[in-house]
Amino acid sequence: MNFLKKVWPYSFDTNNVSSLVVKTLLYVLLAVSFSILMGVLAKVAVLNVLFFIISPLIDLYVVVGLIVLYLNFFNIIK
């Protein structure tokens, strides 16, 4: 459990719905901002290859972070 708290620190300590919405928007904003950055810098060949490798990892981080956030909110994990 300590590993989850170190990797996804914003997914824990969600007490009410407003903090849940804010943290969900934080993860969505992370994914959107990285996608915009990837779209802007995709013209450079070296960065395009780098983004091709990193993009699925960022998407996985966001999805797992959201899953941990909702599991913590519904007290399935503590």
Q: Per residue in 17-65, pLDDT tens?
A: 999 999 999 999 999 999 898 888 888 888 888 888 888 999 999 999 9
Q: What is the pTM of this model?
A: 0.84
Q: Per residue in 38-50, pLDDT tens?
A: 888 888 888 888 8
Task: Find, among 7, 5, 11, the residue nearest to 69 by Cα.
Answer: 11
Task: Find, among 28, 24, 25, 19, the residue nearest to 58 by Cα.
Answer: 28
Local structure of residue 13 (DSSP, 8 states): -
